[in-house]
A and B are shown apart, each in its own frame.
Chain A
């Protein structure tokens, strides 16, 4: 327990009155990262649970790992398909390693930028550092195309953390999902670097439309549904493999971290509108394709279920989830400018979530009042 002793020894330096007391939040952040805090709340009633915010966040990070590994392999696989000379004859591990080296810098950049801003704000406002960014920092690279320059990753992370989160008061107070806000910022600010045919491959000169773009322009795609399910199609780094995302979903649902109501209703909403458009003849491919291509599954499992920005009431969760899925398919089919509707639909429903909750609560109050009257 040498580390524990060391932490205890340097603690007074960072406490009030100590030499480095202005770094108190940083110290506390590292201390609680290493050890379970031994302080207890002084007043007020609290529900005791072994699941603190740190553990919840770690579970989400774990759930993201299958999709991330699959995404890394897919980066190499897609480049090999395009005939990249250095990957000729490379095995599974070679392809994975190639993708790993492409994705790692972005993950580092996103974490360093985001955590630096979080630490600065925590220090300035003299509160503890929250762990929310552990998930956001991993989500941001996963929803970006592989060729996006590192400075765009850094800039959109900074925008999302400052304008999307710290302005509203930090973790737990944000209206919009920060990772999606980062993607929306990058998408609208640097459209040529974020969409089109050239961005989905790691090397310059390669190009090809994603499955989603092919579906929206021609109504068919060159890959089979199985390819799309396993994730061997071009797309943002972490979103392609529906199979790996479902493993993550299983982890989230088994541990009770994410709401099954939201997850299920997003898929139901997407399918319902998919079949609707299929029935009226506006799309020419099977409705379930919508769930396999693009960021639909990723958004449904990891973004829409964000406990901070989604609806809080159970009834509200059903409405919220259904609308997310339905709007995503609606944007995909109706609006030719945005082949991917998941980002916009989740952000839009984030804004409406408090309103949904408000009406659900109001309706409940009205119903109960009526009960009293009848007695």
Chain B
């Protein structure tokens, strides 16, 4: 029961992007096309899940005053693993994502979950929490990229969906539109979840 709530909460009611407003920078940068957005989402999920797991395993052995530096070492190692993996097997996507893979290390979601959850919870719970937060992030990225690629270039995953009659909306390819789409998602989300609305 507790586990399933751990898992579903970050996906909707406490989504890291649209409720906690974390990870916005990369959400604007990599969502022009679906493919890089999906890869980015999965990379963050991987880093988030395993940094949570490792830090949870180590949590009783680390003196609290040096915990940040230990976290950084763990996260940085995982990010390098992801980066090298993408370069080896998905070179094109890796080029499109450019610096944003490396910048996962500065993604507030990863550090935030380690600090807020993994250091106080058991390994399995932490792992699930990391996966769920990563997927919550990936979900929003894919949703934004879906609209941006569909209306911005008339394609999905590079396959033409809207034919010749469609005039691509080039504003969709600019980062401001990603911000507006995220804003609209937040708007809808808050309309559905009345408890999130500020008085």
Contact = CB atoms under 8 A, between A and B. Distances in A.
Interface of A: 163, 167, 185, 188-191, 193
B187 interface: yes
B interface, by DSSP: helix, strand, loop or mixed?
Answer: helix
Contact of A190 (B169, B183, B187): B169
A174 B174 CA distance: 22
Identify the interface centre among A163, A188, A190, A193: most chain B CB within 10 Å of its CB: A188
A72 B153 CA distance: 35
A185 B171 contact: yes
B167 A188 contact: no
A189 B180 contact: no
Contacts of A189: 169-172
Interface string B169-190: 1111010000010010001000
A347 to B, nearest CB: 12
A167 B171 contact: no
Contacts of A188: 170-171, 174
Contacts of B171: 185, 188-189
5 contacts: A167-B187, A188-B174, A189-B170, A190-B170, A193-B167
A188 B171 CA distance: 5
Contacts of B167: 190, 193
Nearest to A193: B167
A191 B187 contact: no
Closest 8 interchain pairs by CB? A189-B171, A189-B169, A188-B171, A189-B170, A163-B180, A191-B170, A185-B171, A190-B167
A167 B183 CA distance: 10
A167, A185, A189, A191 pick with most chain B CB within 10 angstroms = A189
Contacts of B187: 167
A191 B172 CA distance: 12
Given A189-B171, A190-B170, 7 more contacts: A167-B187, A185-B171, A188-B170, A189-B172, A190-B167, A191-B170, A193-B167
Interface string B141-180: 0000000000000000000000000010111101000001
B172 to A, nearest CB: 7
Contacts of A193: 167
Nearest to A151: B167
The CB with the most chain A CB atoms within 10 A, among B170, B171, B172, B183, is that of B171
A195 B154 CA distance: 22
A185 B180 CA distance: 12
Interface in B20-69: none
A185 B187 CA distance: 20
Contacts of A190: 167, 169-170
Contacts of A185: 171
Contacts of A167: 183, 187
A190 B171 CA distance: 8
A150 to B, nearest CB: 13
A36 B167 CA distance: 46
B165 to A, nearest CB: 11
A218 to B, nearest CB: 28
Contacts of A163: 180
Contacts of B172: 189
A167 B186 CA distance: 12
A163 B183 CA distance: 10
A341 B198 CA distance: 38
Nearest to B169: A189
A191 B167 CA distance: 11
A191 B170 CA distance: 8
Nearest to A184: B171
B175 to A, nearest CB: 12
A290 B74 CA distance: 59
Contacts of B183: 167
Nearest to A156: B171
A94 B39 CA distance: 61
Interface string B120-157: 00000000000000000000000000000000000000
A126 to B, nearest CB: 15
A257 B180 CA distance: 33
Contacts of B170: 188-191
A189 B170 CA distance: 4
Contacts of B169: 189-190
Which of B167, B172, B180 neighbours the largest number of chain A CB atoms within 10 Å of its CB? B167
A193 B187 CA distance: 31
A164 to B, nearest CB: 11
Which of B169, B172, B180 gathers the greatest number of chain A CB atoms within 10 Å? B169
